Structure 1
Amino acid sequence: MGASTPHERLKKTAQHLIEQVLPRPRPLGVRFWDGSLLPPEVPREDTVILVLKRPEVLARLLEPPLDLALGEAYLEGDFDVEGNLEKALEIAESLTPRLNPLEWAGVLRDATSLKKGLKALGVAARLKGRAHSKERDRQAIQHHYDVSNRFYRLWLDQRMVYSCAYFPQGDEDLDQAQENKLELVLKKLRLQPGERLLDVGAGWGGLIVYAAERYGAQALGVTLSKRQVEHARAVIAENGLEDRVQIELRDYRDVRGPFDKAASIGMAEHVGREKLPEYFRTLYQALRPGGLLLHHVITRGPVPPRFSKTVASGEFMRRYVFPDGEILPLWTHLKAAEEAGFEVCDVEDLRPHYAKTLRHWVARLEARFAEAVREVGAARARLWRLYMSASAYQFAAGHLAIHQVLLAKPNAKGQAAVPPSRADLYIGGGYGGR
């Protein structure tokens, strides 16, 4: 027999690497660049196939940190997944590295024959300046949120709410679940007609418009996203709410009160550990004595990931999705809030609701994926599909959690406008409108 061809040698090298890295029985299939299939050896209800588009992709996928390597290769289209992407990520976590450091070094040596140079990905963040300075925070927010209002409109709800929805019955559609969440926030704040509400990190204005329409509040929202401000101002004008609702392009550190109530929904993840005390002091000073703050934030979950930092470094998310973002344990938020003078009145975990919310977003994005690619390009559309699928798994598996914390600024007598129980929240048949 003659010598094998270069194509055959590459295929043999790739198969050898897969046999070393994937445990037997193999939980997922692998489709090679020539169309041949290495089938899964474990029967699954949802079969997942890893599709390798070119030989050199394996070399990329095996270089630590693996989350960054996998993410970049996926964005560039070097590999794809047939089947549910969230399920693929669940399988990936179950494949905890079974090789010792010496064996792993041997795998990497074997992979060198497949290497190629990396492409420069245009969707990576390029921030300048000191971390969590006002200018750098502006860059970080605009990197994620100023992508395209039309892109977000493809898969968000009708009010463009980009945070955890609330599914008290379990079968609500996304529009109803997001309205449930707005109702939940404002009922916890016990918002009254004519009160001044501050929304920091106001997004596309969903909460402040809802607060004026349904509760008769005077509302101010602040954000660092130019496109969010443009959209929110258009919605405010369409609804004739200019006399009651304003949104401004302003850093939360430049907000001055007094306000009766305040909400921070999915904003504190951008603040950073070092700035967390300043964040709570700023909002404490912005509130009147007796005022309330609803602090809604993603936290580290109760179940630690099985992967080491070599595998799950967080670098992919920091580089491509939420630059400078930090997910902290709940206790760090409670400690900083209390040190600023707040009383912690109520804490609720909404973790299962965020997994469900993300699955809605992914399904809606998938349904209009061709439109998304036309709007923001293939790499960015794939980035959102990957990050939201990964996040859905992280919340479902308990690696991430999300908490709503009701905080009070006591008045001179040490009192705040919080009833003795939650009973008032459920008056009128529960959440979902008044």
Structure 2
Amino acid sequence: MAETVPRSDRLQEAARRLVERLFEGERPFGVKFWDGTYLPPSPGASARADVVLRRPEVLARLLDPPLDLALGEAYLEGSLDVEGDLEAVLEALERHAARLSPRHWIGLLREVRGLRAGLRDLGLAARLRGRTHSKPRDRAAIRHHYDVSNAFYRLWLDRRMVYSCAYFPEGDEDLDAAQEKKLEHIARKLRLAPGERLLDIGAGWGGLVLFAAERYGVHAVGVTVAEQQVRFVRDRVRRLGLEGRVEVRPEDYREVRGRFDKIASVGMAEHVGRERLPDYFRIAYANLEPGGLMLHHVITRGPVPSRFSGELASGEFLRRYVFPDGEILPLWTHLQAAEAAGFEVRDVEDWREHYAVTLRHWVRRLNARFAEAAAEVGEARARLWRLYMSVSAYQFAAGHLAVHQVLLAKPDERGRVELPRSRAWIYAP
């Protein structure tokens, strides 16, 4: 009677052949299998990470594109893991993107066809109803991401709780210093002055409105639909004694009414959507005094197209679990909509490399306090944030994403905007 090979061994052998075929001769990471077997990195490679396959069922996920959703969900539940530098793994995957299509490996995965590959419901996916970018649906989408837990965000954000790209002009700043330099940079671009009224659309945990009131003596109004953020900012306003100078309102950007000398929108427009972008700028323009300035800070499509195909990087994982209904658009769409509303574009600055550094700071800080994070929001959600921020850091570094600061002006009735002739004023001490 012929000796049969146990199915677990056949699965491990199929997985090993798959990995070797996909990364022929240049695999910079090792692979740990569920049975303890280890496939080392290619000879001469500088091993910066190990991919860990904890269950053979993870292989069955490869038969169910899009791959970003399949592998992202496997990572959340822990059947797939990365020990070490996750960005190095992403870089290797992109170099070999042409080989990652299922048609290249489907023959190697016959053994896994019978495995159950279903994901247990981790309760992390967004469940939105109604018309896309309607007020109720946008409110639910924002709360899905930002109303996770103030204590969770406090574990790894800077002391001011600024959840957007920091500014590293010297390159050696720590996160607290870099976020403060970002706030100072925005204040200088807006030429804030005592007594002015500042509107911050999407105020987050109040970093900008509090900074502007304390350092520049403005009267600041922040709006956000995230309930936990509103409570957090109001409490901080009381503790800092800034009542009467800082106000936070639980408002959608479409509900804002007032007259403001300056407006800022930092990391909020990604939630607006292409269809609503003209309304967003029109409303901001209507609330801005003639001669006023607006700082529009937004993630945009980067200069380098990804080599991943749609079946490998569909964006479905991020839409389902991280930023539901979020849209990353080319810079020109923002400029076009702003100009159509009446704005004049006065300055554009690309901070792409700064965001890669910011995200790496966040990931390191989250990893350093991962046990506390998991205790606060659950291990799967903590893993979700670690994954999305690591992937985002790689995308900014590789040029697939960018982030732009656009300074807009609303000329007065005579077409004037009071700005110096040189940009030196932004950087002057």
TM over 0.5: yes
114-123 or 69-78: bigger deviation? 114-123
Which residue number in structure 1 is paired with residue 392 of structure 2?
Answer: 391
Which residue number in structure 1 is paired with residue 249 of structure 2?
Answer: 248
| 1:87-166 aligned within 5 A | 87-98=88-99, 102-107=103-108, 109-166=110-167
Q: Deviations over 1:258-284 (max 9, x none)?
A: 100000000000000000000000000
Which residue number in structure 2 is paired with residue 80 of structure 1?
Answer: 81
Q: Deviations over 1:233-266 (max 9, x none)?
A: 1111111001100001100101012100000000
Which residue number in structure 2 is paired with residue 312 of structure 1?
Answer: 313
**Does 2:6 correspond to 1:8?**
no
Aligned partners of 2:11 and 2:112 also within 8 Å: no
Aligned partners of 1:296 and 1:405 also within 8 Å: yes
Residue segments in structure 1 that go unaligned for 5+ positions in a row = 429-434
Question: What amino acid is aligned across from residue 287 of structure 1 in structure 2?
Answer: L
Aligned partners of 1:63 and 1:108 also within 8 Å: no
CA distance in 2, matches of 1:105, 1:53: 21
Question: What amino acid is aligned across from residue 4 of structure 2 in structure 1?
Answer: A
Q: Deviations over 1:96-149 (max 9, x none)?
A: 132777544434545414443222231111111110000000000000000000
* Shift in alpha-carbon separation, 1:45–1:251, aligned structure 2, 3 A: same
Which residue number in structure 2 is paired with residue 220 of structure 1?
Answer: 221
CA distance in 2, matches of 1:74, 1:89: 14
Aligned partners of 1:17 and 1:110 also within 8 Å: no
* Shift in alpha-carbon separation, 1:113–1:277, aligned structure 2, 3 A: same
Which secondary structure does the structure 1 equivalent of 2:290 belong to?
A: strand
CA distance in 1, matches of 2:244, 2:9: 71
* Shift in alpha-carbon separation, 1:274–1:201, aligned structure 2, 3 A: same
Q: Deviations over 1:328-348 (max 9, x none)?
A: 000000000000000000000
CA distance in 2, matches of 1:344, 1:27: 45
CA distance in 2, matches of 1:352, 1:47: 22
CA distance in 2, matches of 1:31, 1:288: 61
* Shift in alpha-carbon separation, 1:247–1:8, aligned structure 2, 3 A: same
* Shift in alpha-carbon separation, 1:102–1:353, aligned structure 2, 3 A: closer
Q: Deviations over 1:298-352 (max 9, x none)?
A: 0000001011111110000000000000000000000000000000000000111
* Shift in alpha-carbon separation, 1:222–1:102, aligned structure 2, 3 A: closer
CA distance in 1, matches of 2:373, 2:273: 31
418-427 or 143-152: bigger deviation? 418-427
Which residue number in structure 1 is paired with residue 346 of structure 2?
Answer: 345
CA distance in 1, matches of 2:45, 2:199: 49
Query: How far has the Cα of 1:82 moved from its partner?
Result: 1.7
* Shift in alpha-carbon separation, 1:42–1:388, aligned structure 2, 3 A: farther
Which residue number in structure 2 is paired with residue 431 of structure 1?
Answer: none
Aligned partners of 2:60 and 2:115 also within 8 Å: yes
71-80 or 107-116: bigger deviation? 107-116
Query: How far has the Cα of 1:420 moved from its partner?
Result: 1.2
Question: What amino acid is aligned across from residue 344 of structure 1 in structure 2?
Answer: V
Aligned partners of 1:270 and 1:326 also within 8 Å: yes
Query: How far has the Cα of 1:33 moved from its partner?
Result: 0.6
| 1:4-43 aligned within 5 A | 4-43=5-44
Which residue number in structure 2 is paired with residue 413 of structure 1?
Answer: 414
Which residue number in structure 2 is paired with residue 424 of structure 1?
Answer: 425
Aligned partners of 1:187 and 1:425 also within 8 Å: yes
Which residue number in structure 2 is paired with residue 71 of structure 1?
Answer: 72
Question: What amino acid is aligned across from residue 240 of structure 1 in structure 2?
Answer: G
| 1:202-241 aligned within 5 A | 202-241=203-242
**Does 2:189 correspond to 1:174?**
no
Query: Post-superposition, which runs of at least 4 consecutive aligned residues in structure 1 deviate over 6 A?
Result: none
Which residue number in structure 2 is paired with residue 191 of structure 1?
Answer: 192
CA distance in 1, matches of 2:366, 2:18: 34
Which secondary structure does the structure 2 equivalent of 1:263 belong to?
A: strand
Q: Deviations over 1:350-376 (max 9, x none)?
A: 111100100100000000000000000
Aligned partners of 1:57 and 1:114 also within 8 Å: no
Query: How far has the Cα of 1:16 moved from its partner?
Result: 3.1
CA distance in 2, matches of 1:154, 1:231: 15
CA distance in 1, matches of 2:401, 2:142: 21
Q: Deviations over 1:41-64 (max 9, x none)?
A: 143334321111011111113431
Q: Deviations over 1:404-425 (max 9, x none)?
A: 0000011000111222111112
CA distance in 2, matches of 1:296, 1:247: 20
Aligned partners of 1:127 and 1:140 also within 8 Å: yes
Question: What amino acid is aligned across from residue 87 of structure 1 in structure 2?
Answer: A
CA distance in 1, matches of 2:104, 2:174: 49
* Shift in alpha-carbon separation, 1:25–1:356, aligned structure 2, 3 A: closer
CA distance in 2, matches of 1:6, 1:105: 18
CA distance in 2, matches of 1:366, 1:93: 25
Q: Deviations over 1:160-207 (max 9, x none)?
A: 000000011111110010000000001000011000000000000010
Query: How far has the Cα of 1:18 moved from its partner?
Result: 2.6
Which secondary structure does the structure 2 equivalent of 1:97 belong to?
A: helix
CA distance in 2, matches of 1:227, 1:142: 9
Which secondary structure does the structure 2 equivalent of 1:117 belong to?
A: coil
CA distance in 1, matches of 2:116, 2:260: 58
CA distance in 2, matches of 1:196, 1:54: 57
| 1:243-392 aligned within 5 A | 243-392=244-393
* Shift in alpha-carbon separation, 1:279–1:99, aligned structure 2, 3 A: closer
Query: How far has the Cα of 1:91 moved from its partner?
Result: 1.6
297-306 or 25-34: bigger deviation? 25-34
Query: How far has the Cα of 1:86 moved from its partner?
Result: 1.8
CA distance in 2, matches of 1:19, 1:163: 39
* Shift in alpha-carbon separation, 1:10–1:107, aligned structure 2, 3 A: closer
Aligned partners of 1:28 and 1:42 also within 8 Å: no
For normalisation by structure 2, the TM-score amounts to 0.97
